[in-house]
């Protein structure tokens, strides 16, 4: 009897059972799945944060640039007298610096005069400055791919070399003085206004909202403008212009070196296409890999001195 009680007591106090190998493997698999799920969620949140920051950066840059361009273009001047064809000038895609496929036309370039000189008070030479905007691509350098730059052409009236609108109004704009004043390249980056702007479009209209540009021509010269119904070809400024730009964030701009549809040459060809007339059209035609990192911005500007 005593021996039986001892045996039963021994069975009640047997060591506690441990996990089996199968149970450990199942637990490890569940833990791994949870880690992967959490990692995936965190990765997605990080990508969303990066995309949001890039979009905010493009928004700040694009809106600021549009305001800057609009401020200058709004003040563009008519010649004195207004009918003169040998004085002040307002030109879009001027033939003096080459065709729209030249190095300064991705897609449009614009040049004019406005009373915004920065040295006129000190020198008493007047307030009229020569102003312009264009997109230029800088060559690749080392590990850096080609970069698109929005450049500003700005010449004060004290610049006796490049300020020619009075001294030589027939040749006030040329590739030589454009390169001298606003090359956008090193070493001094003269004229560089913003990087990663791959296209600029300027579309002029008359006072009735009729476009000056046609499907075959994107050239405007205030000395001899095209012929919508209200101007009959007489010297004049457009009543208004639409300005649109296409901006890439820095991370997306680096992908232009990947070749194929996203190569620099492919994007340049797209921007220069005659069928692309504004930034929205260009954005919808960009390679899919670039579209998430691109934004277009458009504004309409009334020219204060238009007749």
Instruction: Mark residue 240 as left, alpha or beta (left: phi above 0; alpha: psi -120 to 50; beta: remaining).
Output: beta
How many angstroms separate the first and last alpha carbons of the chain? 124
pLDDT tens digit at each of 307 positions of the chain: 445 444 444 455 455 566 687 778 888 888 888 888 888 877 777 766 666 666 666 677 788 899 999 999 999 998 777 777 778 999 999 988 865 557 777 889 999 999 999 886 656 667 899 999 999 888 776 666 778 899 999 999 988 889 999 889 888 998 888 888 887 665 566 788 898 999 999 999 998 899 999 888 899 999 888 877 666 667 889 999 999 999 998 888 887 766 666 788 889 989 999 899 999 999 999 988 889 889 999 999 999 988 7
Structure tokens, 61:
């840059």
**pLDDT (0 to 100) of residue 122:** 59
**pLDDT (0 to 100) of residue 1:** 46
Tell me the pLDDT tens digit for each residue of 90-107: 999 998 886 555 777 788
**pLDDT (0 to 100) of residue 142:** 63
| Contacts (Cβ under 8 Å, ≥6 apart) of 284 | none
| Contacts (Cβ under 8 Å, ≥6 apart) of 108 | 92, 93, 100, 134, 200, 201, 202, 218
Q: Do 91 and 112 form a contact (C-beta atoms < 8 A)?
A: yes
* 3-state secondary structure (DSSP) of residue 41: helix
Q: Do 274 and 204 form a contact (C-beta atoms < 8 A)?
A: no
Q: Do 237 and 304 form a contact (C-beta atoms < 8 A)?
A: no
- Kindly give the pairing relationship between strand 192-195 and strand 240-248: unpaired
Q: What angle do CA 287, 43, 255 make, to 5 degrees?
A: 25
Which stretch of DSSP H or E encloses residue 61?
helix 21-74
Model confidence, pTM: 0.80
Tell me the pLDDT tens digit for each residue of 202-228: 999 998 899 999 888 899 999 888 877
**pLDDT (0 to 100) of residue 175:** 85
Q: Which of 279, 275, 248, 280 is nearest to 264 (CA)?
A: 248
């Amino acid at each position: 009897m005593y021996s039986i009680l001892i045996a039963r007591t021994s069975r009640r106090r047997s060591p506690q059972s441990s996990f089996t190998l199968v149970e450990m493997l199942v637990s490890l698999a569940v833990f791994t799945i949870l880690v992967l799920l959490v990692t995936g969620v965190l990765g997605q949140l990080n990508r969303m944060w990066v995309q949001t920051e890039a979009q905010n950066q493009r928004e700040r840059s694009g809106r600021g640039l549009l305001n800057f361009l609009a401020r200058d273009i709004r003040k563009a001047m008519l010649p004195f007298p207004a009918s003169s064809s040998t004085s002040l000038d307002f030109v879009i895609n001027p033939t003096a610096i080459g065709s729209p496929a030249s190095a300064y036309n991705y897609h449009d370039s614009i040049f004019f005069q406005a009373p915004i000189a920065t040295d006129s008070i000190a020198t008493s030479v007047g307030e009229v400055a020569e102003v312009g905007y264009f997109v230029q691509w800088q060559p690749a350098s080392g590990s850096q791919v080609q970069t698109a730059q929005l450049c500003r052409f700005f010449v004060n009236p004290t610049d006796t070399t490049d300020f020619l609108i009075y001294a030589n109004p027939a040749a006030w704009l040329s590739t030589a003085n454009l390169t001298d004043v606003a090359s956008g390249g090193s070493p001094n980056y003269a004229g560089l206004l913003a990087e990663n702007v791959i296209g600029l479009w300027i579309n002029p209209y008359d006072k009735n909202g009729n476009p000056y540009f046609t499907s075959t021509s994107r050239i405007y010269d205030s000395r001899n403008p095209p012929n919508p119904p209200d101007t009959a070809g007489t010297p004049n400024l457009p009543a208004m212009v639409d300005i649109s730009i296409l901006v890439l964030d820095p991370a997306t701009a680096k992908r232009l070196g990947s070749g194929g549809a996203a190569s620099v040459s492919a994007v340049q060809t797209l921007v220069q296409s005659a069928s692309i007339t504004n930034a929205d059209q260009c954005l919808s035609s960009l390679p899919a890999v670039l579209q998430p990192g691109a934004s277009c911005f458009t504004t309409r500007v009334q020219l204060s001195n238009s007749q």
